[in-house]
């Protein structure tokens, strides 16, 4: 898929962050886009930005859907058919995700399963719902956003990170398995797995909006304020911007790359884990890698 002009794309989590950036870049390239998100407010901003500099022929639509809910995702697919008056889509970008549910032992089961369901079943549900429309297109591409935590299941030695990591490992494995499946059964469809490092987005703040302080209190108190400050720091200190990440992803689609690493930190931790996998969860392994990358970038 060298050219997005005249194509139709679906972007989950299209209201903010990388999803918003990809929506805007696709629209400006002449691609009509259907986005879903749980935030009507975020989607309104995303749609307005996308159509601002897009060709007049481009249509950008939004639909409120929780990607972990199969019924809602199927309704989203029907919306795409009706709103865009089509029976096919060319590009499915499974981007929606949240954090949370870090400890399998200590955190609430509901929080753990919410994170896993959004990050994994969001990909699965949309792949199921839109596969008939991808099959109906003359060419197609599925982009599944995993993470560096799809090959390194850690945030460092002091922080459990089980739900998100388990889901992102599943996304990576599913996408890699699709390569052979599609080659045999739908050779006009390609698949790519995206593994971003620290991208300057609001995912940590959106997770806080979802779970509060992760103990059920939510919205008030010292723990909540501390979590909010960490979320703002994450947003403001990313090594790669959402715009840069979106460009890398869409360039990867154009060049049919099945494996897309985003950011120098993603490249560094990938190389480190491959070099010494037995050490990956010992001491400050990953933190040392990230610190070295940040020092090199800033220095």
Active site residues: 164
- Residue 64: φ, ψ to 5°: -75, 120
Question: Roughly what angle, to the nearest 10 degrees, separates helices 203-211 and 109-116?
Answer: 140
- Strand pairing category for 60-64 and 32-37: parallel
Alpha-carbon distance of 139 to 88, in angstroms, equals 10
Alpha-carbon distance of 265 to 195, in angstroms, equals 11
First-last CA distance in the chain: 38
Alpha-carbon distance of 81 to 210, in angstroms, equals 30
Alpha-carbon distance of 137 to 48, in angstroms, equals 27
- List, in sequence order, every residue forming a beta bridge with 113; answer none if it has no partner: none
**Residue 229: C-alpha distances to residues 94, 199, 261 (Å):** 28, 17, 28
What does the block give as tokens for 130? Answer: 């839109």
Query: DSSP string of 114-179?
Result: HHHIIIIIHHHHHHHHHHHHHHTSSSEEEEEE--GGGTS--S-TT---HHHHHHHHHHHHHHHHHH
Please tell me what DSSP assigns to residue 277: G
């Amino acid at each position: 898929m060298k050219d997005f002009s005249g194509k139709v794309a679906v972007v989950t989590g299209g209201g903010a962050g990388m999803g918003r950036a990809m929506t805007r870049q696709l629209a400006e390239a002449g691609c009509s886009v259907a986005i879903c998100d749980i935030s009507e407010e975020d989607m309104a901003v995303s749609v307005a930005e996308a159509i601002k500099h897009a060709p007049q022929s481009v249509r950008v639509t939004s639909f409120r859907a929780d990607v972990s809910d199969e019924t809602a995702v199927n309704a989203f697919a029907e919306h795409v058919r009706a709103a865009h008056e089509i029976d096919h889509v060319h590009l499915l970008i499974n981007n929606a995700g949240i954090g949370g549910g870090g400890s399998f032992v200590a955190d609430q089961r509901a929080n753990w399963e919410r994170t896993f369901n959004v990050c994994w079943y969001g990909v699965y549900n949309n792949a199921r719902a839109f596969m008939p429309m991808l099959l109906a297109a003359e060419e197609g591409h599925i982009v599944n956003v995993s993470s560096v935590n799809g090959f390194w299941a850690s945030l460092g030695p002091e922080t459990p990170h089980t739900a998100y990591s388990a889901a992102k490992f599943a996304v990576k494995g599913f996408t890699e398995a699709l390569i052979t499946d599609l080659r045999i059964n739908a050779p006009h469809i390609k698949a790519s797995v995206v593994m971003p490092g620290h991208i300057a987005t609001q995912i940590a703040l959106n997770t806080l909006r979802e779970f509060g302080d992760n103990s059920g209190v939510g919205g008030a108190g010292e723990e909540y304020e501390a979590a909010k400050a960490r979320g703002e720091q994450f947003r403001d200190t990313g090594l790669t911007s959402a715009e840069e990440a979106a460009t890398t992803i869409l360039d990867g689609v154009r060049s049919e790359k099945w494996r897309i690493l985003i950011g120098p930190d993603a490249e560094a931790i990938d190389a480190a884990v491959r070099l010494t996998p037995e050490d990956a969860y010992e001491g400050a392994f990953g933190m040392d890698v990230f610190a070295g990358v940040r020092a090199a970038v800033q220095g």
